[in-house]
Chain A
Amino acid sequence: MKDNSEKMYDGVTDIRDDLVENAKTQNIKPPKMKRPWWTAVIAAALVAAIFAGEMLMPGGTGVNAYAISEATYPEMAQYPDEYLYMHADGSFDSEGFSAAFDPWFEDVQAQRRPDGYADGLEAYFKRSTEQFLSGAEGENVTYSPLNVYMALAMFAELTDGESRAQILSLLGAESIEELRQQANDVWNASYRDDGAVASILASSLWLNQDVEFNQETLDTLAENYYASSYSGEMGSDDFNAALQDWLDKQTGGLLSDEAGEVELDPETVLALATTVYFRSKWTSEFNEDNTKTDVFHTASGDVDAEFMHASRSASYYWQERFSASYMGLESGGRMWFILPDEGVSADELLASGEYMDLVLDPDGWTDQTYIIVNYAVPKFDTSSKFELSDGLKALGVTDVFDDAVSDFSPMTDMDGIYLSQAEHAVRVAIDEEGVTAAAYTVMASAGTGSPPEEEVDFTLDRPFIFVVTNPNNVPMFIGIVNNPA
């Protein structure tokens, strides 16, 4: 009795003659891949300062910024560069490679969290995105729901009473414990730093050395939110420089200009800084030779933009007002492109929120098909910086801004303190050339179904929305590209 593998062997044996013949003459090298582009280099930073209503009396100890505690991130093995395991004679040290690959793979898996931890955040994603990105009026704007989420969750830890309740309500959480666990899952599922992909959420607390803080709360933040704490003389050049350096370092130098402008006043009790740094390649690269200059239609007229082109089998989604598709990222996440139909504005889509339903649960979307998609994606490098305070108030987080009602009791016994600023800066670039070494192998993607019979052109030549997600469809960055030039 033959088993199925032998039946398969027999089936292969009897394939057509021409297939057997051609196999010996046909070149088996896959079509040449060009040097990959870095897909996306993105950095977001949020600096929120809590102020004292009255002038603080300096203690005059003169101690400059020093770290009270530094967060320790999960250890992650480096992605093994398989070219290092190729011998000069062309043979391959598979044992050595496996020895490096297996720990890396385990570490990546260890960061994964099962779907579902972000349940309840849907309304926050929709409402906050509409709040912060609407009304861009021709400007490129980007917002990091993840970055703001981490900052808000930490603020919930620092506050109590109605101040905390307002934040919990916006984030759809029942309790601080629930939020803490969720934030920890979000952090871990989004974290990756293995040399091939960087996706790092960093947080730090900048403490006024003249104020006594509740150590227990600081410990909670360090433990669950991977937050480092620094204490020093508020308003001093050294302390400002330390904060600027920290921001610059955590955002890979992408936000140097913005970070350089961050200064804290002497009245600041505590400043919270959170950042997201993300760098990943596409799972399938664009061929540089196919990049061409073409017209992008902005609201105020046509401009020239560099369009990257690729055709591949992909899922394509539509709805009466937009079409959408995504490209896989080596981080395990996706970069979505949402193209409003002609005559439909990005703001209309932000208001309806349906695009977010798609991003959060693409499998549940009815109008989708798997076909050949001819992508034309403009390269862009945009940065935006804005103050979140008004937006957060509009979203119902009001008490922390008002020194008469704010409750920061878990943080300190001081009265009359309030949130004075919340600056959010984001930069996104998808046109950077990558490290030239073709060192990182493209990871295997799942097999495809039957070959597509149709194809569709997906040309992003008018304002569009992009969303970068983590491996569980959690939106890390959302932006509107109104003008890529």
Chain B
Amino acid sequence: MDDERIIELYFERDEQAVQETSGKYGLYCMGIAFGVLGVPEDAEECVNDALHAAWQSIPPERPACLRAYLGRIVRNTAISRYRALRAKKRFDGTEVLLSELAECVPSRNDVEEIMERKRLSELISAWLDTLPPADSALFVRRYWYGEGVSELAQECKCAPRALTQRMLRLRRRLKTYLESEGASR
């Protein structure tokens, strides 16, 4: 079923919308959730929560791109759940991911404005536009889809170390970009 039809089902308040979504995007959502949580059971619950959240938000929302919309809900749900679980147990993968992202934070005193969610995502999007397509995709695959370095390295047919270096350069570039954007305002 195509995405437009699925979205119509949501608007018709037809619960088949959830089944269709689960059938078409369930595995994809699981992948993202598992990337953050690292435990299949937690990931499964997270996806269920996300599907429920989608059911509640469409309508009034009408996603232009259902795939990205769902992924975003899963990421938000997963990080909330991760935060709640963190006190009890840690998942190294996400710790690593977050510590990598921490490297992109501008080292300036007035980061408040730039770290505001909407502004930050606009800036990151604009920065991704400046990158060669392969680098932009790599960054999104790692930090949006949460894919592991070794899998990405395999796909690039390069050593993980080389990929790590490439990621490191990207993070430094993002940081520099955010700092220069913050400074220019």
Contacts and interface: CB of A to CB of B under 8 A. Distances in A.
A6 B83 contact: yes
A34 to B, nearest CB: 15
B9 interface: no
A30 B156 contact: yes
A100 B171 CA distance: 26
B144 A7 contact: no
B98 A5 contact: yes
Nearest to A83: B159
Contact of B121 (A12, A27, A29, A450): A12
A19 interface: yes
Nearest to A90: B154
B161 A9 contact: no
B138 A28 contact: yes
A10 interface: yes
Contact of B165 (A5, A10, A444): A444
B104 interface: yes
Interface string B145-180: 100001011111111111001101101110111001
A448 interface: yes
B76 interface: yes
A5 B140 contact: no
Interface string A1-44: 00111111111111111111111101111110000000000000
Given A5-B102, A23-B136, A449-B180, A30 B166 contact: yes
A20 B42 CA distance: 24
B60 interface: no
Contacts of A83: 159
A358 to B, nearest CB: 25
Contacts of A82: 159, 161-162
B124 A12 contact: yes
B137 A23 contact: yes
B111 interface: yes
Nearest to A8: B101
Contact of A29 (B102, B125, B134, B165): B134
Interface size grouping (class) on chain B = 35 or more
Contacts of B1: none
B79 interface: yes
Contacts, number: 162
Interface string B88-124: 0000000001110110110000010001011011011
A94 B161 contact: yes
B58 interface: no
B53 interface: no
Contacts of B72: 13-14, 20
Contacts of B140: 15, 19-20, 22-23
Nearest to B95: A5
A441 B162 contact: yes
A30 to B, nearest CB: 6
Contacts of B134: 26-31
Contacts of B115: 4, 7-8, 11
A451 interface: yes
A152 B69 CA distance: 71
Contacts of A17: 64-65, 68-69
Instruction: With a 10 A CB-CB cut-off, give which of A9, A20, A83, A443 has the most chain B CB atoms.
Output: A9
A374 to B, nearest CB: 17
A416 to B, nearest CB: 61
Interface string A98-119: 0001000000000000000000
A92 interface: yes
Interface in A424-477: 441, 443-451
Given A4-B115, A12-B144, A441 B136 contact: no
Given A6-B98, A11-B117, A14-B121, A19 B156 contact: no
Interface of A: 3-24, 26-31, 82-83, 85-86, 90-92, 94, 97, 101, 441, 443-451
Interface of B: 64-65, 67-69, 71-72, 75-76, 79, 83, 97-99, 101-102, 104-105, 111, 115, 117-118, 120-121, 123-125, 128, 130, 132-138, 140-141, 143-145, 150, 152-162, 165-166, 168-169, 171-173, 175-177, 180
Given A21-B68, A23-B145, A445-B169, 4 more contacts: A6-B98, A13-B72, A29-B155, A444-B169
23 contacts: A7-B105, A7-B115, A7-B117, A8-B105, A9-B79, A11-B123, A12-B121, A14-B72, A15-B125, A18-B65, A19-B140, A19-B144, A20-B140, A22-B137, A28-B137, A28-B138, A29-B134, A29-B157, A92-B161, A443-B165, A446-B172, A447-B176, A449-B176
* 10 closest residue pairs by CB, A with B: A447-B172, A11-B120, A14-B121, A23-B140, A26-B137, A5-B102, A17-B65, A8-B101, A5-B98, A17-B68
